[in-house]
A and B are shown apart, each in its own frame.
Chain A
Amino acid sequence: MNLLESVRLAIEALLANKLRSALTMLGIVIGVGAVIALVSFGQGVEQYIARQFQSLGANLLFVFSSTPPGGGPGDVKALTMADASALANPLLAPSVLRVSPQYDVFAVVAAGRNDSTMNVSGVTPVYQDVRGWYPQYGRFIEETDILTSARVAVLGTSTATDLFGPGVDPVGQTIRINALPFRVIGLMEQRPGSGFADENDVVFVPISTAQTRLTRAPMRDGSYRVAFITIQAVSEGRMDAAADEISRILVERHGIQYRDQEDFTVLSQNDLLSVVGEITGLLTIFLAVIAGVSLLVGGIGIMNIMLVTVTERTREIGLRKAVGARYGDILLQFLIESVVLTVTGGLIGIGLGFLAATVGSALIPDLTLTVTAGAILLATTVSTMIGLFFGIYPASRAAALNPIDALRYE
């Protein structure tokens, strides 16, 4: 008996019990569909994050406070404006091009009847050059605004739309941040993408205003605390040198005695990417395990149904043997039946996963969810293997039946 014929026979047998076959396949359909959808989702998120990091700007390092190993929060000296100034000293840090300290405040931003609770970023004029992001109307925060702790604000496009409606130029208007009036002096360029975190949903104020008027952030020594510092290195080749200079300066300024006792962390864009990559990788493994369990359950379902099928068709098996079917013929017949079940389920699962990815892409424009040939190949191989693995036991039981006993089976 040739293979094509066996496959036809298997399909006929499965069609004879449509509902049962469909229900049996469901486990595999869900498992494979989950694998495809989750893999494409994971890859989409990774790509998205990579793009986000690239859009941050070039040659960036991030400095923020962190608790040293074995230490408590009390052992941490916060990063301050004085630290930022020291890092900006070209004599101390020749590899550093620009230093952008930032202090974020969660505040109620309102204009007219509209208000929202959101992040207000206190920044310095250098921010726009570090991020490569400039106002399209009006101006950005300037040095004099910092010196006078001026109540001025620059809006992102999403915030402007939320507060004033679409297409309205907000420059010159007044908004209230935590009930204090601020004059809008600029509207930022539109940043591409509006997915998980919309960059355009932002309000910039002078960092000194954020530190003094929106909260109270002075330190005992009179300097002001910052949330983190973004540093642009002179060139890509001097990123490591810049990181070393930053560490040296801060170790000295914070009076760190021992290595590994630093109360700050310096991360490059690549470091961040790999940290995020580790997290998403872990997430992917977790999702894969869930999908794997679902495939395993699906496989056991296949085995169960195949055992039932073999029992039900005992007399048929007996007859086939009586007219000359060999062990291998019967084995192949039932093995193919279970593989046809799992592969059909797998194909439907791939289709559903594909559909989920397409729908996901449409719903979240930022996320390009692609189903790779590799994922399809993997899903097909895995579902074939499941069919073989869970089908072999029922099939060998069928094949080993003695024709007389099988024919006599009631």
Chain B
Amino acid sequence: MFRGDGRQKVTEYEIPRDAQGRPAIIDIRDVTKIYQMGDIEVRALQGVTLQIFEGEFVAIMGPSGSGKSTLMNILGALDQPTSGKYYLAGKDVSQADDRQLAAIRNEMIGFVFQNFNLLKRTSALRQVELPLIYASKPGNRRERAKAALEAVGLGARLHHLPSELSGGQQQRVAIARALVTEPKMILADEPTGNLDTKSGTEVLRIFQQLNRERGMTTVFVTHDPFVARHTDRVIMLRDGRIIADRAVSQPLIAGEAERPSEMAELEDIFRETYDAPAEEFT
């Protein structure tokens, strides 16, 4: 792709755009990540090239160990690739130092974790204020944190501690925390992985609303094909490589679509989403 059109030669980076003219917010080129474990090299990512454009709603899928978390961590500026380039909204993240990475994480990215990662004994409001503590322009922290909590439907739980909230509510606090700095995108690594179906649907609905109503670029990892079908685009990883990258023809609306029976689901997903015979994945 990129190699073909010779853009690598251009020294000045120009933000690529998609067919609709939306600028790329994520633009990674030939990214690898190699973990050195003693004598063994683990090649978690073996050359991933990917563009995600502003306003996209993307699911990343793939078997366990395929490199999804590794990729998300690099996209979230939590980790640096072993080689390759990462441009985030035009900024070269692979060249950034620690200070700049901290600022990028603070201002540009909202990250949501599978296990929520909330602080113990800290009220929801204070949890959500946390990123603003480190922000260069914090504004009125309380008000902004309150607004973010209201946006995820927790306006009535401002002073609750994590131990006083359900799993789904805890994850919504975490989403509010990701939103509060008004980042360019939300990244989530298996955000519904620890939740029951109902809470998972709730979280999914929030993501969908943020995307539809605010145009928030959202990328999340899921193992659940039914969840993935609520997005616009599904990227499939295996062995540290992208093996499929497809648009979802008719995205479902969270909470409205019936989860299909397991058999029907499998067949549906394999046919529609990946456009590949079922045997390949079993």
By a beta-carbon cutoff of 8 Å, the part of chain A in contact with chain B is 1, 5, 16, 315-316, 318-327, 329, 402-404, 407
Q: How large is the interface on B (under 10, 10 to 19, 20 to 34, 35 or more residues)?
A: 20 to 34
Chain B residues near A5: list those with CB within 8 A: 133
User: How distant is the Cα of A11 from the Cα of B107 in the complex, in angstroms?
Assistant: 28
Cβ of A403 and Cβ of B134 under 8 Å apart?
A: no
Contacts A325-B102, A326-B99, A404-B73; A320 near B79 (Cβ below 8 A) = no
B89, CB-defined interface residue at 8 Å: no
Cβ of A319 and Cβ of B117 under 8 Å apart?
A: yes
Chain B residues near A1: list those with CB within 8 A: 133-134
B121, CB-defined interface residue at 8 Å: yes
Cβ of B119 and Cβ of A325 under 8 Å apart?
A: no
Question: What are 29 A-B contacts defined by CB distance under 8 Å?
Answer: A1-B134, A5-B133, A16-B121, A315-B117, A318-B117, A319-B117, A320-B130, A321-B102, A322-B76, A322-B78, A322-B117, A323-B106, A323-B111, A323-B130, A323-B134, A323-B177, A324-B106, A324-B131, A324-B135, A325-B133, A325-B134, A326-B99, A326-B134, A327-B98, A403-B78, A403-B79, A403-B105, A407-B78, A407-B113
Closest to A2 in B: B133
B103, CB-defined interface residue at 8 Å: yes
Chain B 65-79 near chain A by CB (<8 Å), digits 1 or 0: 000000001001011
Closest to A321 in B: B102
Partner of A324, one of B113, B119, B121, B134: B134
By a beta-carbon cutoff of 8 Å, the part of chain B in contact with chain A is 73, 76, 78-79, 98-99, 102-103, 105-107, 111, 113, 117, 119, 121, 130-131, 133-135, 177, 181
User: How distant is the Cα of A319 from the Cα of B76 in the complex, in angstroms?
Assistant: 13
Closest to B122 in A: A12
Chain B residues near A327: list those with CB within 8 A: 98-99, 102
In angstroms, how far is the closest chain A Cβ from the Cβ of B184?
Answer: 14
Q: Total contacts A to B, CB within 8 angstroms? A: 56
Additional 4 contacts, C-beta under 8 A, given A322-B117, A325-B134, A326-B134: A324-B103, A324-B131, A326-B102, A403-B105
User: How distant is the Cα of A33 from the Cα of B105 in the complex, in angstroms?
Assistant: 46
Chain A residues near B103: list those with CB within 8 A: 324
Chain B residues near A323: list those with CB within 8 A: 105-106, 111, 130-131, 134, 177
In angstroms, how far is the closest chain A Cβ from the Cβ of B60?
Answer: 17
Chain A residues near B98: list those with CB within 8 A: 326-327
User: How distant is the Cα of A5 from the Cα of B76 in the complex, in angstroms?
Assistant: 27
Partner of B119, one of A316, A321, A329, A404: A316
User: How distant is the Cα of A324 from the Cα of B99 in the complex, in angstroms?
Assistant: 9
User: How distant is the Cα of A65 from the Cα of B62 in the complex, in angstroms?
Assistant: 101
User: How distant is the Cα of A198 from the Cα of B119 in the complex, in angstroms?
Assistant: 65
User: How distant is the Cα of A5 from the Cα of B129 in the complex, in angstroms?
Assistant: 13
In angstroms, how far is the closest chain B Cβ from the Cβ of A318?
Answer: 8
Partner of A329, one of B73, B117, B134: B134
6 closest Cβ contacts across the A-B interface? Answer: A324-B106, A323-B131, A324-B134, A326-B102, A319-B117, A324-B105
Which of B102, B103, B130 has the most chain A CB atoms closer than 10 A to its own CB? B102
Cβ of B79 and Cβ of A404 under 8 Å apart?
A: yes
User: How distant is the Cα of A1 from the Cα of B135 in the complex, in angstroms?
Assistant: 8
Which of A5, A315, A403 has the most chain B CB atoms closer than 10 A to its own CB? A403
